[in-house]
Structure 1
Amino acid sequence: MSTDWLIKNAELINEGRRFQADLRIKSGRIDAVGGDLGARPGEQVLDAAGLWLLPGMIDDQVHFREPGLTHKADTWHESRACAAGGITSFMEMPNTKPPALDRETLEAKYARAAETSAVNYAYYMGASNDNLEAIRALDPKAAPGVKVFMGASTGNMLVDDPDTLDGIFRDCPTPIITHCEDTPMIDANLARAHEMYGEAIPAREHPLIRSREACIKSTRLAISLAKKHGTRLHVLHISTADELALFEPGPLAGKKITAETCVHFLHFSDADYERLGFLIKCNPAIKTAADREAITRALAEGRIDVLATDHAPHLLAEKEQLYDKAPSGLPLVQFALQAALERVFEGRLALERVVEAVTHAPATLFGVKERGFLREGYAADVVLVDPRKPHTVRREEVLSLCGWSPFEGTTFSSSIAATFVNGQRVWDGTRVDDAVRGQRLAFDR
């Protein structure tokens, strides 16, 4: 399979600039970026006139369910959905079965991805009340970070012991990644909802049960611990306007505490529960249109640093259950970049800022080695976007194993024309090349 390409006449978006250029890929790397590069013998030439050429999206938060929950998702299917959506690298969460709470389980996940993943991959180690020694012993190059559920999770991954939390924030050798919601507050809200509705709690109650107060209380705790110990902290999936004042606007450089939000918080609001019900039930919850607008502004000004997915598939039959049993999470990776780019077409975000948030920032924040930029010598993880070809999402094109999307029926203004992973074209606009395999992400720490 040839890894030598010459992409001609594209509009490159990279490091705050938009410019016309050609890009040469040789042996899986970006060999040259420049004007009017001449074709060499053996190269495949792709005329990208009218297309945007971006560094591939690096999704810092996905749940691919493998091992243990592969009836609803697995690395094979979800990585192919990534490829079709312009995501060239993912970082996967530890709350699988068994959870990745030790190095052996973590490495088993890497070994499986080497066999099946169509894009590049990395895996977080998880934190629990009883694995502090494993966290202390973690090689900082072995994982992008350690995931801490600060107050809301299932199984044994809820970290609610104050001494353990303090020890994790003091001793963790990698960035700490947090899910911030306060469980006691959520439990009290849920009890009140049961008093009002019995078992038939409507979807519109979800953002009141997983309340904004629960989010901000937990986020404040995480930030206070990070400031106490000088920890490198990254707070995931910000969903409320209330939390935004806790983070500083401006460039990523020099920040020790950063924030991420997700594409569904830019796209949906609580008005969509009436139409989509538990299909958009997720944790933290999708909240009001005012929250959505504030989050979009915060992303524009760099107060929120990273835009990701929190891709978390469930079967439709699971989503059709009553509130307590309907699981939280949405399948998102296949259409996430297009959803993000809608804010560009609306005039809400600059194209350069979207590229910064979905690619440059996660690469920089986690120290991903030689990826995330259109630079000579870097891995050729790139995506071509057609900004003039609208795309209406249909269920039959969904590649995630769960087989559905919350975006069904949505017409996006752009299409993903091609995705390259390590110089190999894994998506050609219509199909995934099943022979392509991604690589383990390396961290320059």
Structure 2
Amino acid sequence: MSKNKTLIKNALVVNEGASIKTDVLIEGDYIAKIANEITPDNDCLVIDASGKLLLPGMIDDQVHFREPGLTHKGTIATESKAAIAGGITSFIEMPNTNPQTTTAEEFDNKLATAAKSSYANYNFMFGGTNDNLDEILKIDPKKVAGLKLFLGSSTGNMLVDDEDIIRKIFSSTKLLISVHCEDEATIRRNLAEYKEKYGEDIPIELHPIIRSEEACYLSSSKAIELAKETGARLHVFHLSTGKETALFDNSIPLKDKKITAEVCLHHLWFSDEDYKTKGTHIKWNPAVKTARDRDQLWEALLDDRIDVIATDHAPHTMDEKANVYTKAPSGGPLVQHAIVGILEAVAQGKLSYEKAVEKMCHNPSILFEIEKRGYIKEGFYADIVLVDPKDTWTVEKDNILYKCGWSPFEGTTFQHKITHTFINGKLAYENGNFDEHLHGKQLTFNR
């Protein structure tokens, strides 16, 4: 019989700007007590975490788990399982599935699927189109994470390119509106130029020239201008250029910001120099750009112009990625390696453990007003992760958990290893082994 309580002893708890060695008691779904020298009773599993870090689970505010409609690439079950192995305990999934999540019915269908198959806590973005404002206005803000608009680069009819419609959506909802910003006209013009020169087999090194700094800046600056005009609550996804970072503010606390920004692991890790060796495996939209852009993204993350680190996890099969440039899809799998990737940057001296936790755990909770998650606090859900900071390991085919079976980090050695992941107080993952019971719950919002 499983025990109802878990006592984690002697961990270095990283939370709210401090790292303190202490004990943490879990009872049921929640963190019951945080104190020095908690004494266990007989109904208690005891884990000695000496030498380990205890972090809140990461809340990933942007993933594509491919269900429904694209399940040959990934499913909510397969990708949430990889996520908890990587220490991500909650995710917000995007609406560009098939069918798209642009009606209340499809949103409810996704919730029902996740309730039956998700290892991690879950919620979903509701998608905007040029003609679904009536559906948007029906949304219960306590039930949905937010609204997602593709202002560039999308599938189906999810490209929202009518400025009057964008203004109307911005003016009509109090929901947080997350946007993908790339100017489609600029990209089409650039693509046409290079197709004329190379045909379909354009060198991958030209990806950040086609999906250029100008395309990103034009779109994001216009979205921010509209948000200021309408008073909309705007969150700009996956910044990829240094130029865009100047559009964001660090003079007020996150809880008071109306305009916020996210950066993804791949834009903090790779640069255009990596296309030579990684090819289409690092083809993302927006594109990975220069080392200087990467440095400026780090600078903005550290000085709080950028608020959140996410993954934009978007798996494709190896066969799909092997196509010529114009046919190879953009996106890559990242949830299993996001936390260890950022902790590698801690080991390199780029940021502190405390700052990493702020950007991956606390800030998504603040930004989306998620109830009782993102912190190690008494009374909060026990979504927590133990990390060994001295257990070196290398990403190889046989330890990759994504359904697509590959990672852009293959061959990379990390100095930190996720050893235990708790979801709602249950030990869901331990040293490569999973509890096959599903412990994920629907995220709720304090709005």
Tell me the TM-score normalized by structure 2: 0.98
How many pairs does the alignment contain?
Answer: 445
> Offset of 1:436 from its aligned partner?
2.9
Q: Given that residues 114 and 437 in structure 1 are in contact (C-alpha distance below 8 angstroms), is that contact kept between their aligned partners in structure 2?
A: no
Q: Secondary structure at the match of 1:333?
A: coil
C-alpha contact (below 8 Å) 2:174/2:233 kept by paired residues: no
Hey, what's the Cα distance between the residues in 1 that align with 2:54 and 2:309? 19
Q: List aligned pairs for 1:60-79, cutoff 5 A.
A: 60-79=61-80
Q: For residue 168 of structure 2, give the secondary structure of its aligned residue in structure 1.
A: helix
Structure 2 counterpart of 1:269 = 271
1:90 aligns with 2:123: no
1:45-444 equivalence runs, <5 A: 45-249=46-250, 251-444=253-446
Q: Distance in 1 between matches of 2:177 and 2:20?
A: 36
Aligned-residue offset at 1:244: 0.4
What secondary structure is seen at the aligned counterpart in 1 of 2:243?
Answer: coil
| 8 Å CA contact 1:116, 1:437 repeated in 2 | no
Structure 2 portions without partners, runs of 5+: none
**Structure 1 pair 3–399 and aligned structure 2 pair: CA distance change class (3 A):** farther
Equivalence for 1:22? 23
Identity rate of aligned residues, in percent?
51
Q: Is the 8 A contact 1:122 1:440 kept in 2?
A: yes
Q: Secondary structure at the match of 1:369?
A: coil
3-state SS, counterpart of residue 79 of structure 1: helix
What amino acid maps onto 1:192 in structure 2?
Answer: E
Q: Once superposed, what is the RMSD of the aligned Cα atoms?
A: 0.9
Cα displacement (A) at 1:3? 4.1
1:149-189 alpha-carbon deviations (Å, 9 max, x no partner): 01221210000112210111001231000000000000001
Partner Cα distance (1:112, 1:154) in 2: 22
The alpha-carbon deviation at position 412 of structure 1 amounts to 0.7
State how far apart, in whole Å, the 1-side matches of 2:278 and 2:432 are. Answer: 28
2:92–2:123 Cα contact (<8 Å) kept: yes
The amino acid that maps onto 2:276 is E
Name whichever of 392-401 and 325-334 sits farther off: 392-401
Structure 2 CA distance, aligned partners of 1:316 and 1:186? Answer: 25
Which secondary structure state, in structure 2, belongs to the residue aligned with residue 242 of structure 1? helix
CA distance in 1, matches of 2:172, 2:272: 39
User: What is the TM-score normalised by the length of structure 1?
Assistant: 0.99
Distance 2:79 2:335 in 1: 8
Distance 1:94 1:169 in 2: 18
CA distance in 2, matches of 1:386, 1:149: 38
For 1:400 and 1:107, the matched residues in 2 are separated by 25
SS of 2:157's equivalent? coil
SS at match of 2:155: coil
C-alpha separation between the residues in 1 aligned to 2:56 and 2:242?
A: 30
Query: Which of structure 1's runs of 4+ aligned residues deviate more than 6 A?
Result: none
- Specify the SS of the correspondent of 1:260: strand
Distance 2:87 2:264 in 1: 16
The letter of the residue matching 2:366 is T
* Corresponding letter in the other structure for 1:442: T
CA distances 1:325-349 after superposition (whole Å, capped 9, x unpaired): 1000010000110001111111111
For 1:437 and 1:53, how far apart are their aligned partners in 2? 20
Give the letter for the 1:359 counterpart.
C
- Asked if the contact 1:66/1:96 (under 8 Å) is kept, the reply is yes
Secondary structure of 1:23 counterpart: strand
Q: Aligned partners of 1:95, 1:200: CA distance in 2, in Å?
A: 26
Asked whether the 8 Å contact 2:117–2:438 carries over to 1, the reply is no
Separation in structure 2 between the aligned mates of residue 249 and residue 162 of structure 1, nearest angstrom: 28
Are the counterparts in 1 of residues 30 and 379 from structure 2 also a CA contact under 8 Å? yes
**Equivalent position SS for 1:5:** strand
